[in-house]
Chains A and B, each alone.
Chain A
Amino acid sequence: MVPLQAYLTLAAFIFSCGLYGALARRNAIAMLMAVELMLNAVNINLVAFWRYGPNRDDLAGQTFAIFVIAVAAAEVAVGLALVIAIYRSRKTVYLDEIDLLQG
Chain B
Amino acid sequence: MPELPVEIPIPTPHQAVFIMVAVATGVASLLVVTNRNLFYSALCLVGALFGVAGVYVLLEAEFLAITQVLVYVGAIATLITFAIMLTRGIMFGVTSPNNRHMFAVMAMALLVFLLVAGVVDRVPWAVAEDLTLSGDGKSMIVDLGWEFVTTYALPLELIGLLLLIALVGAVMLARDDE
Binding site for B on A (CB under 8 A): 1-2, 4-10, 12-21, 23-27, 29-30, 32-34, 36-37, 40, 43-44, 47-48, 50-54, 56-57, 59, 62-63, 65-67, 69-78, 80-85, 87-88, 91-96
Contact = CB atoms under 8 A, between A and B. Distances in A.
A70 B159 contact: yes
Interface string B162-174: 1100110111111
B121 A5 contact: yes
A54 B98 CA distance: 44
Given A13-B26, A69-B68, A92-B90, A29 B83 contact: yes
Which of B26, B30, B61 counts the most chain A CB atoms within 10 A? Answer: B61
Contact of A59 (B67, B68, B76, B147): B147
A62 B144 contact: yes
Given A30-B38, A62-B63, A43 B52 contact: yes
Contact of B99 (A29, A70, A95): A95
By secondary structure, the B interface counts as: helix
Interface of B: 14-15, 18, 22, 25-26, 29-30, 32-33, 38, 41-42, 45, 48-49, 52, 55-56, 58-61, 63-64, 67-68, 71-72, 75-76, 79-80, 82-84, 86-87, 90-91, 95-99, 101-102, 105-106, 108-110, 112-113, 116-117, 120-121, 125-128, 131, 133-134, 140, 143-144, 147-148, 152, 155, 159, 162-163, 166-167, 169-174, 176
B55 A10 contact: yes
25 contacts: A5-B121, A6-B22, A9-B121, A12-B113, A12-B117, A14-B26, A19-B112, A24-B33, A26-B95, A26-B98, A36-B72, A44-B52, A53-B126, A59-B147, A62-B144, A63-B144, A65-B61, A66-B64, A72-B72, A72-B76, A77-B170, A80-B83, A83-B83, A84-B83, A87-B86
B48 A40 contact: yes
Nearest to B135: A57
Contacts of B26: 10, 13-14, 17
Given A24-B102, A29-B80, A84-B174, A9 B55 contact: no
Given A69-B68, A77-B166, A16 B109 contact: yes
A24 B48 contact: no
B84 A37 contact: no
